[in-house]
Amino acid sequence: MTGLLVVTAVPAEAEAVRAGLTDPTVTVAPVGVGAAVAGAATARLLALAEAAGRPYRAVVSAGIAGGFVERVAVGDTVLATRSVAADLGAESPDGFLPLEALGMPADLLGVGSAVPADPGLLDALRTALPAATVGVVLTVNTVTGSAASTAALAARHPDAVAEAMEGYGVAVAAAQAGLPFAELRTVSNPIGPRDRASWRMREAFAALSAAAVALR
C-alpha cells in the first residue's frame, strides 16, 4: 500500500504542494481543470495503483479557490466539510433543483450532489491546520463572475466558504474506490464580479505550500 494521493488541477498547484511536502510517500498529480477530467483522471490513477498492488490510502483534492466575501479572506486556507456539485441539477420556475430534488443519484453508489469529507482525515487536517476555515466547498463548471450569480449561490449555500472546479469529481472517484477523501484549498480571490486585479495568486500558492505540511 502506498501513501496519500493529492490531486490538483494545474501544474502550478502541484508545484506549490510539493514545495511544502515533508512526507515522501505522498504522490501529487496535476490532472486538468473541471470535475469531469479530475474525476476520470483520479479514477484512472487509483485503478492503476490498485492493479499494481500499491493502492493509495486516501485522496485529497488540493489547489486554489475563490472565497465567499465575509466568510473567508484572500490567502486563507479552507478545509471542506463536504464537496458539493453546486450546479449539477435543473433549473425550475422556483429556482435551482439539485439531484436529490429530482430523485436521481449521481452514480450507482447513490453519492448524490454532495460528498462529505472523511471524518478522520478531516480531523487530522484540522489538527495540523488549526487556523484553517472549515466549511462547504462548492464545485462549479462555470466560475461565478457577477454580483447576481454570487448572491444566488451564497443564498443557496449559506454554509459554503469557497468555490473551485474539481473537488466533487475527485470525491466521487475516491468514493467509488472506497477511499477516504478530503478537499484542501487556499483562497486566491473573492467570489464576485470578475476582477483579475483583485486576484492574489502568489499569496494563495504560498499558503498552499504552507498547508501542504499537513499532507502526510
Domain ranges of the chain: 4-214
For the record, the C-alpha cell of 73 comes out as 479572506
Residue 106's pLDDT band (cuts 50, 70, 90): low
- Look at residue 110 and tell me whether its pLDDT is greater than 70: no
Q: Which CATH architecture has domain 4-214?
A: 3-Layer(aba) Sandwich (3.40)
Q: What is the pLDDT of residue 196?
A: 77
> What's the CA dihedral at 124, 127, 131, 133 to 10 degrees?
40
**Residue-wise DSSP of 145-195:** -SHHHHHHHHHH-TTEEEEESSHHHHHHHHHHHT--EEEEEEEEEESSS--
- Look at residue 25 and tell me whether its pLDDT is greater than 70: yes
Length of the chain: 216
Residue 103's pLDDT band (cuts 50, 70, 90): confident
Q: What is the pLDDT of residue 99?
A: 72
CA atoms within 13 A on the CB side of 174: 29
Q: What is the pLDDT of residue 98?
A: 79
Q: Report if pTM > 0.85.
A: yes
With contact defined as beta carbons under 8 Å apart, do 9 and 204 qualify? no
With contact defined as beta carbons under 8 Å apart, do 120 and 148 qualify? no
- Look at residue 42 and tell me whether its pLDDT is greater than 80: yes
- Look at residue 1 and tell me whether its pLDDT is greater than 70: no
In 3D, which of 118, 179, 113 has the Cα closest to residue 140?
113
pLDDT, tens digit, 9 for 90 and up, residues 120-174: 999 999 999 999 999 999 999 988 888 988 998 999 999 999 999 999 999 999 9
Residue 94's pLDDT band (cuts 50, 70, 90): confident
- Look at residue 97 and tell me whether its pLDDT is greater than 80: no
Residue 109's pLDDT band (cuts 50, 70, 90): low
